[in-house]
Structure formats: structure tokens, C-alpha cells
Structure 1
Amino acid sequence: MSGRKQFDVVAALDQAMHVFWQRGYADASLDALGSATGLGRGSLYGTFGTKDALFRQCLDRYASVYGARYEQALTAHPGDPVRAVEAFFDVTLSRIADPSVPMGCLIAQSAAQSPTLKEENNALVRGLLDLQRQRVRTALTHPSADARTLDELATFVVAVNQSLAVLSRAGASDTELHSVARLACTTVADTLGRAAAPEDVAQG
């Protein structure tokens, strides 16, 4: 029975996550959350706590699911930072193309609505964005590039990643989104290439 109950809680959390993801925090009413999860207000509060507490659990759930996919993509190509970034964007593009989930990104949606969030929730969103940047930065190892360049590239990659989510919500086509990701990867490759050029010239 405990396994069945846990399954139901996770399923309800996923449904609530989709409501926040689609509507944003401000427009995710308790009625909409209850309708999606199949729980009345009493059961909703009893299971997840307040709306703010439920929102934080949904953010954590989202970060757990997609964070694991990002981590796998970024660590699958050691020594090849450009391929790692390509794999990173592939995760995002696959999620955007998945018809079973809302368009965009829950973290990007939440960041855009930061004025409506309480400070604790804002801090969580900022922390999740920083975690994504740290993951990308770890994958961007290059013997010829200085730390500042790699830090800036990591921030750039995360910024592009979030822009893909926003563009998808605005109706950008798959072709356009893939073009943005491809150009971003070219920028990463060119930047790392320029960092290596002085060493190559010196050796020549």
C-alpha cells in the first residue's frame, strides 16, 4: 500500500508541476491545481502544504528530472566541451518537442515571474539557474582557455538555453530553435579555438 500511495503522490506532483509550468505561479490557482491533481483543497494542503510549498516541491521535481538528463549529457563527452554543449542543448530541444509536457521551461517561466514570487521561492529559482551554470562550467574544461573565458561561456550557454524555452513559448519553429542552438555551439567552438590559437602559433 505504501508503494501505491507514493506513486499517487508523485503523479499528483507531476500534474501540479505541469500547471505551474504552463500557467506560471501567479495564474496557477488552487482550483486549477486541484483539478489537475484530482485533490480537493483539504487534500492538496494535507499532502503538499501551502501553494508556495507545493511550488517549491514542483521546482525540485522539475530540477531532479531534467537536471539528471543535463548531467548525463554534459558528462558523456569528457574532453570535448563543444560536443557536451551540443548534448546539453539536445536535452532542451527534446523536452520542447515532447508533446506530453508544456512548452518552455518551468525554471525560465518562474524566473520571468520573479516579482510575483516570495523571496524563498526566488532564491530557489536563482539557485537552480546557478546549478545549471555550474554543470555547464564543469563541462567547459579547456587547457588553453582562462577561467574568466570559461565562466563567461557557461553563462552564455545557460542564457541561450533559457532563451530557447522562451522562444518556444512564443511560437518559434523547431528549425529556428535548432538554428539558435547550432549558432551557440559555433560560438563556443570559436571562442575556445581563439583561446588555443596563441599556443598553436607559439608552437609553430
Structure 2
Amino acid sequence: MSGRKQFDVSAALDQAMRVFWQRGYADASLDALGAATGLGRGSLYGAFGNKDALFGQCLDRYASIYGAQYEQALAAHPGDPVRAVEAFFDVILGRIADPSVPVGCLIAQSAAQSLTLKEESGVHVRGLLDTQRQRVRAALADSSAAPRTLDELATFVIAVNQSLAVLSRAGTSDAELRSVTRLACTTVADTLARVASENVAQA
């Protein structure tokens, strides 16, 4: 049929996402993107726009895949914010250990290269990080802690998440990464327990 694309757009987007994930934005050349997707520059531009437009679509693709998993994990333990955070980290560690995908995290990789990104892409990455934080913050909402404390804990959890991605790219073992998440969950639990105890004492 005239004008019909002769390739699977979703598959090509997934392959491009892997290139950005593995190499980072700056080193994801059009040649590398073309080799991974099997598309020439003209077809890449025709299907996805320029490199920045393709990068934005890859960020959204990544966020849709893993964001759904994060939401499911965080929502699976209503009334138990510590268990919700543990489940969140379990998803992250599972992604890191998955040999079928690049090491680390596309969002963390992109955040680390923010200075190489155009303003629109930088805003996009920061928005995705904030979405992660909002998910965790919502899972903590059942706690009796003050909003400021919960905001700080949500930011802490996301900071640990990003650190896991960086450590994994540096070759840190699964056992070491799990020790990091255990300490993070202990910090969350101890903070919430301390606040609950203070609230009882003040009642």
C-alpha cells in the first residue's frame, strides 16, 4: 500500500530506547540509532522527528513500561508505606538484574547528562523524576507524619533509586545493592516510627 511504513514503529522505538539507555544521549549517534533500528536517517526523521524528538519518545516509552510496575508495587500495600517502599525497590532491583536490558536506568542516565541536553529534554527528564517522587509520596500518605517529613522521605527514596542505577553501572554486586535498599527501608521505617511515637507522646 502506498505510504505504508515498512517497519514496526514500536519495535524501532524500543531499539532506539536501548541505545539511549546504554550510551546516554550524547553518545547515541544517529549512526548508532540507525544501526539499532535498521532505519536510515531519512526514515528515522520521517518516523520520529529529529534526535531530540526521538529521545523524548524513548523517555516516555521507558516511563510507561517501568512506571506501571512502580505504581503497581507501591499500591499493592495500602496502609503499609514501608512495605510499599520495599516493593518499589524490589522492582528496581529486578530491572537492574534483568540481563535482557541495559544496566542502570535511562532516566538516571539522562539526569546525569543534563548539561548535554537541550532545555526541553532537560525539563522532560526532571518531570519524570518528579513523577517518580509523587508516586512514592502517595504511598507514604497513610502515615501520620507531617507533610514535610513525607516530602523529605519521598525525595530520599528517589535519591536512593537513582544511586542504585549509578552503582549498578559501576559494577556493584546485587548483594551490595540489596544492602543499600535494606538500609533505605530501615531509614523510612525508623523515621515513621519515631514520628508516630512523638505523636502519641504529644496526644
Q: Is the TM value for this pair above 0.5?
A: yes
Q: Does 1:86 align with 2:86?
A: yes
Pick closer, same or farther for the CA change 1:21–1:195 going to 2, 3 Å.
Answer: same
Change (3 A) 1:143 1:66: closer
Aligned to 2:118: 118
Contact 2:20 2:106 in 1 (8 A): yes
Distance (whole Å) between structure 1 residues aligned to residue 6 and residue 79 of structure 2 = 40
Distance in 1, matches of 2:122 and 2:21, equals 15
Matched, 1:183 2:180: no
Please name the residue that 2:171 is paired with. 171
Which aligned runs of 4 or more in structure 1 are off by greater than 4 angstroms?
Answer: 4-7
Distance 1:131 1:85 in 2: 15
How far 1:189 sits from its partner (Å)?
Answer: 0.2
Q: 1:118 corresponds to which letter in structure 2?
A: K
- Does the 8 Å contact 2:59/2:106 carry over to 1? yes
Quick one: percent identity of the two aligned structures? 81
CA distance in 2, matches of 1:68, 1:52: 24
- Quote how far apart the aligned CAs of 1:176 are: 0.4
Offset at 1:27?
0.3
Q: Aligned-pair distance for 1:188?
A: 0.2
Aligned twin of 2:15: 15
Tell me the CA shift for residue 163 of structure 1.
Answer: 0.3
Please name the residue that 2:194 is paired with: 194
The TM-score, its normalising length taken from structure 2, stands at 0.95
CA-CA distance at 1:160 after TM superposition:
0.2
So what's the TM-score if we normalise by structure 1?
Answer: 0.95
CA-based RMSD:
1.7
Q: 1:131 corresponds to which residue?
A: 131
> Which letter does structure 2 place at the counterpart of 1:53?
A
Q: Partner of 1:107 in structure 2?
A: 107
**Residues 107-166 of structure 1: CA deviation (Å, up to 9, x unaligned):** 000000001000000000000000000000000024421000000000000000010000
Task: Classify the secondary structure of the residue corresponding to 2:86.
Answer: helix
Q: Which runs of 5+ in 2 are unaligned?
A: none
Residue 26 of structure 1: SS of its match in structure 2?
coil
SS in 1 for 2:99: coil
For the residues of structure 1 that align with 2:141 and 2:156, how far apart are their CA atoms? 15
Following superposition, the deviation at residue 8 of structure 1 comes to 1.1
| 8 Å Cα contact 1:142-1:192 kept in structure 2 | no
Residue pairs, 1:29-178, within 5 angstroms: 29-178=29-178
**Cα distance between partner residues in 2 of 1:40 and 1:202:** 68
Amino acid at match of 1:115: L
Unaligned runs of 5+ in 1: none
